Amino acid sequence: MNDQHDLDLMVVSRFPIILIESHEEARVLELLERVCNLRNLAMFTWNVSDGLQRNGRADRVPETKNPDAVLRHTEATPQNGVYVLLDFHPYLQDPVNVRLLKNIAQNYHKTERTLIFVSHQITLPRELERLAARFELSIPDQTGIRAILKEEIAAWERFNEPVRGQQESVDTLVQHLIGLTGEDARRMIRLSLRDDGKITQADIPRVLKAKHDLFSQGGVMNLELDTAQFSDVAGLNNLKRWLNQRRPAFLGAPEAAGLDVPKGIMLLGVQGCGKSLAAKAVAGAWNVPLLHLDFGGLYNKFIGETERNLREALKTADAMSPCILWIDEIEKSLSSDNADSDGGASQRLLGSLLTWMAERKSRVFIVATANDIQALPPELVRKGRLDEIFFVDLPDAATRADILRIHLTRRKQDPALFDLAALAAHCADFSGAEVEQAVVAALYEAVAEKLPLSDALLTAEMQRTRPLSVVMGEKLQALRAWAADRTVMAN
């Protein structure tokens, strides 16, 4: 995109009001100055601390610091040109200012004065909307990011040792900087370089956290830095194979050219069987950020704010792409049963989410988990919205033995000292979480009795446990029967 050409076209198209939302004020002003010089237009700049000043001149127009004063001056002057108003957004709700702006805009055919508002966010009163156009600065693509990286490395090396690093880390850094403005990308690159003069994998989490903080919405969309690997997840072999097949297409690998980018999956299953861990493992195995969407934090008592919160959160996901978007227990927020009890907020949220899912161009892979898929509306789970629905069942004997091995190792116990096959038989019909808690409780018992952890202690704890498959047996059987011929088995 050629920003100068596009902005020049907008100015000469005789729009009386142009809105530019950007944090790159210096870049916008430089661009406007080039356009005005090209067209031989006078350019004036206003801010509330300095008042109005013509570019290229040291003196300021007196008594123009107040917002209504600068508008009255602009309305009265016969001077054609471009009037740039910086951070004017707080004054756009004043009815006097709105009337003055309308006067200036409607008299454009008499005196060609283009008003350009530059701020981080601009909400124009409705009576002015048809008189205005919006201009959006382009953001650097991968080539642009690499050019910025090259400039920053050269600047570093003028005064320091040559930059060292790993090509894989450089490529990962560039990938994660896409979606940022040029200035924000520079700051992230400096964050990586100025610690030790290297670009390594250790820099990536820090850059991701800084990037997330730029876009995060008050805890609604959280960056999970504690991800996992497929080796941390026992069983789920069908799911792992499916994900491994789609990894190259999601990451844009050359060998996957022409393949559709995978959209996401639904993980349905028994509580405590590893659905959330699987979501973390996808992010870790694909080496992309994991974002956790907290639907509960979206809700607001004011009509329209809940949906706006979701749209802003999804913009964060778009900006963080490629990434995994994890929506845990989605049925609790988008259940069709909630429509009457929440004033229709869940239905409006569903509409906003479905629109984004259908129109998004970014590489955001959704991992939604659910315990009761029948509570979800069919339009959310149909093919095309998500790629597949996997059922995560209770682990079989081999998987339970693997879960025991993982959790014993994690707690500094040698799995070779235990009869894992016999222990797995003792915890039949346990979920993965229940197997883990048996290890945890047995360790507490061992410490209390001043004994080493043993098969006997683990077996005793398993015999004391009443698993969910017993406590909620009827419900789990109904869920498994429903999923048998409607989903793909994850194990």
Q: Are 402 and 235 in contact (CB under 8 A)?
A: yes
442/353 same-domain check: no
Tokens at residue 90, please?
């707080």
Strand partners, 117: 19, 85
For residue 116, count other CB atoms closer than 10 A to its CB: 25
pLDDT for 88-121, tens place per residue? Answer: 999 999 999 999 999 999 999 999 999 999 998 8
126/154 same-domain check: no
Average pLDDT over residues 24-32: 92
pLDDT for 392-424, tens place per residue? Answer: 889 999 999 999 999 999 999 999 999 999 999
For residue 488, count other CB atoms closer than 10 A to its CB: 13
Q: Which of 414, 406, 404 has its CA nearest to residue 438?
A: 404
Question: What does the alpha-carbon distance between residue 135 and residue 133 come to, in Å, rounded to a whole number?
Answer: 7
Question: Residue 192 corresponds to which amino acid?
Answer: S
DSSP single-letter state for residue 24: -
248/372 same-domain check: yes
In a domain, 476, yes or no: no
Full domain range(s) for residue 211: 142-215
316/371 same-domain check: yes
163/31 same-domain check: no
91/210 same-domain check: no
66/171 same-domain check: no
CB neighbour list of residue 5: distance below 8 Å, 6 or more residues apart = none
In a domain, 220, yes or no: no
Return mean pLDDT, the chain: 86
Question: What does the alpha-carbon distance between residue 397 and residue 160 come to, in Å, rounded to a whole number?
Answer: 58
Question: What does the alpha-carbon distance between residue 266 and residue 286 come to, in Å, rounded to a whole number?
Answer: 18
80/177 same-domain check: no
Q: pLDDT-derived band of residue 70, with 50, 70 and 90 as boundaries?
A: very high
Question: What does the alpha-carbon distance between residue 66 and residue 31 come to, in Å, rounded to a whole number?
Answer: 26
CATH number of the domain that residue 369 is part of: 3.40.50.300
pLDDT for 422-473, tens place per residue? Answer: 999 999 989 999 999 999 999 999 999 999 999 999 999 999 999 988 888 8
Q: Tell me how many domains the chain contains.
A: 4
For residue 264, count other CB atoms closer than 10 A to its CB: 18
| Domain C-terminal end among 349, 370, 392 | 392
SS3 state of residue 252: coil
Min mean pLDDT across 63-77, 100-114, 262-276 is at 262-276
In a domain, 274, yes or no: yes
For the chain, percent of residues with pLDDT exceeding 70: 95
In a domain, 301, yes or no: yes
Span between the terminal Cα atoms of the chain, in Å: 47
| Domain C-terminal end among 170, 190, 215 | 215
DSSP calls for 397-458: HHHHHHHHHHHHHHTT--GGGS-HHHHHHHTTT--HHHHHHHHHHHHHHHHHHT----HHHH
Strand 264-269 relative to strand 388-392: parallel, antiparallel, unpaired? parallel
292/236 same-domain check: yes
Q: pLDDT-derived band of residue 343, with 50, 70 and 90 as boundaries?
A: low
Tokens at residue 311, please?
């749209």
Residue 429 gets the label, from left (phi > 0), alpha (psi -120 to 50) or beta, of left
128/193 same-domain check: no
Question: What does the alpha-carbon distance between residue 153 and residue 157 come to, in Å, rounded to a whole number?
Answer: 6
Q: Cβ-count burial of 239 within 10 angstroms (0-12 exposed, 13-18 middle, 19+ buried)? A: buried
pLDDT for 281-306, tens place per residue? Answer: 888 888 888 888 877 667 665 555 67
Strand partners, 44: 54, 83
247/381 same-domain check: yes
Q: How far is CA 347 from CA 290, 325, 338, 341, 353, in A?
A: 26, 20, 8, 11, 10
CATH number of the domain that residue 409 is part of: 1.10.8
In a domain, 317, yes or no: yes
In a domain, 250, yes or no: yes
Angle subtended at Cα 225 by Cα 224 and Cα 227, rounded to the nearest 5 degrees: 85
pLDDT at 289: 85
Across 27-36, 286-295, 369-378, which has the greatest mean pLDDT?
27-36
| Domain C-terminal end among 135, 165, 195 | 135
pLDDT for 180-225, tens place per residue? Answer: 788 888 888 888 887 778 888 888 888 878 777 776 655 577 777 7
Tokens at residue 26, please?
């210096």
Question: Residue 456 corresponds to which amino acid?
Answer: A
118/9 same-domain check: yes
Q: How far is CA 338 from CA 301, 346, 347, in A?
A: 15, 7, 8
In a domain, 483, yes or no: no
Question: What does the alpha-carbon distance between residue 169 and residue 473 come to, in Å, rounded to a whole number?
Answer: 49
In a domain, 479, yes or no: no
